Amino acid sequence: MTNRTLSVADAIRTRRSVRHYRPDPVPAADLDTLLDLAIEAPTSWNLQDRSIVVVSGEEGRAGLTLATGGQPQPQEAPVVLVFVAEPWAWREDRADVYARARHNGAWSEEFIALFAAASAEFQAGLRDRGLLREYAVKDAMIAASFVMLAATELGLATSPMNGWDEALVKKAVGIDDRDDLAVALLLSVGYPAERPRHPGRRARDRNVHRERFGARPA
C-alpha cells in the first residue's frame, strides 16, 4: 500500500537506501509521477541539461548489473533510472524553453534576450575552465534527489548508486558512442524486500558552520 500523505520532512527522515527489492512491478502511473517530478527539479540557467533513461527490461538491467560489479539493485529492482548529464546542452537550440517561459508569463522578451546572452557567456566560461561536466552532473543529481523523496511518499524504495563503470553503463543504455554525455547516477526503484535501520547522522553542530568553515555556533 502506498502512502501519499507524507510531508517532505517525513520523506527526508524516513527514506533509506535499499539494496534488496521484491519483484512487484512499479505501477506505470507512479513511475510517470516520479519522472514528472524529476523534470520539475531546478537546473542551472534553466538549461534542463539532464536526461533520464528508464531501464526495466532484462537485457538493460543485466547490463547495469555488469556495470555495477554484480550489485543486487539492478538485478532485483524492477526499474533502474540512469541520470545522464548533458554538458553541451547550452549549445543546442533552446527556442522551446523560451517559448514555454514566454507562454507562462514567466519571462519577457527583453529578459529572454538578456538571459540567452548571459547564459552563453557563463557556459563558455565553464567550458574554458573545464567545468561543464561538473555543472551538468550537479543538475542531474538534484533531479535524482527529487525522485528519491517522491518515491518515498509513494511507498517505493530507492538506492542511489555511484559505484559503476561509466563505459559499461553507457553501453547498457545505448550511449557508448557519446563522449559529450556523462553518467551522473544510477537509482534503483521498487518495493523494498528489507527495512534497513537508520544508521544515524552526526549532530548538526558537527557539520554545520557559521559564515566560515570551521566556525561553530556559540
Q: What is the pLDDT of residues 130-164, one digit of tens each?
A: 999 999 999 999 999 999 999 999 999 999 999 99
Q: What is the CATH number of the domain that holds 161?
A: 3.40.109.10
Q: Hey, what's the cell of 157?
A: 524504495
Residues above pLDDT 70, as percent of the chain = 97
Question: 212 in a domain, yes or no?
Answer: no
Question: 76 in a domain, yes or no?
Answer: yes
In the predicted structure, residue 217 carries a pLDDT above the cut 70: no
Is 142 buried (19+), middle (13-18) or exposed (0-12) by CB count in 10 A? middle
User: Residue 23: which residues within 8 A CB-CB, separation 6 or more?
Assistant: 76, 78
Question: 163 in a domain, yes or no?
Answer: yes
Question: 215 in a domain, yes or no?
Answer: no
Question: 1 in a domain, yes or no?
Answer: no
Range(s) of the domain holding residue 42: 8-207
Q: What is the pLDDT of residues 174-207, one digit of tens each?
A: 999 999 999 999 999 999 999 999 999 999 888 8
Question: 138 in a domain, yes or no?
Answer: yes
CB distance 160 to 187 below 8 Å: yes
Task: Count how many domains the chain has.
Answer: 1
- Does the model's pTM come out above 0.85? yes
